[in-house]
Amino acid sequence: MAYISEFPVFLLSVFLISLSGVLMPGPLFALTIKKAATSKISGALIALGHGIVEFPLMVLIFFVLSQFTIPVMVQIGVGVIGGVLMIFMGVHSFRGRHKQKEIQASLRRDSVFAGIYTTAVNAGFILWWLTVGTALILNAKLFGLLGFSIFAGLHWFIDFAWYAVVAFLIFKSQRFWNDRVRCGITVFCSAVFIGFGFYFMGSALWSLLV
């Protein structure tokens, strides 16, 4: 593995890799689109829930997991279990597509929890941190705990800024929506969850055959 010795270059690599990951549509992006219909801050709350899972994982990798090679069977297990859970989320969302919007009183708690749950069951997220993310953290180790802290904060801030902006823009444009549009968005989000679920599960099972 090639290590990046210059801190500014390392931060630039973190920014570009993190940005390329967050701009790629996935389960968390689909969740943000769905929740943005009820609150302009839902993206920020979802990102907060995402960070509640992501920060401890980054710390765990920094201090423990980066010293070991992750067994292939562990990666396969993550793919299968995460895939099944994401399919379940997609089916559950599709079945509730005609239900009324959530009550405002529970919105904040619900959005944060949704961010936590979607992140935790996202096999792609876990596998990314066990591979690409671990490589970035190994580079961050060269700059000590301060370097790692800056890296972790920058990576999460990119997620936060993106989802907050997306949710805000969608919320402001929702006056153009009707029930059919809202139902279509829910169907789209459900399809994303189910599609990614089958992809992660299928990729994991396929790796057993090759």
Q: For the chain, give the mean pLDDT.
A: 80
Evaluate if residue 53 carries a pLDDT over 90. yes
Distance from C-alpha of 46 to C-alpha of 108, rounded to nearest angstrom: 9
CA angle, residues 121, 125, 127, in degrees to nearest 5? 105
Domain ranges of the chain: 25-209
Distance from C-alpha of 109 to C-alpha of 120, rounded to nearest angstrom: 17
Mean pLDDT computed over 48-52: 94
Specify the 3-state DSSP secondary structure of 187. Answer: helix
Distance from C-alpha of 102 to C-alpha of 79, rounded to nearest angstrom: 31
Position 104 scores a pLDDT of 46
Evaluate if residue 117 carries a pLDDT over 80. yes
Position 23 scores a pLDDT of 74
**Of the listed ranges 43-47, 57-61, 72-76, the one predicted with least confidence:** 72-76
Distance from C-alpha of 148 to C-alpha of 136, rounded to nearest angstrom: 9
For 86-113, the pLDDT digits (tens) are 787 778 767 766 664 544 445 556 889 9
Q: Measured in Å, how far apart are the chain's first and last C-alpha atoms?
A: 25
Position 59 scores a pLDDT of 92
Evaluate if residue 1 carries a pLDDT over 80. no
For 178-195, the pLDDT digits (tens) are 677 767 777 877 787 788
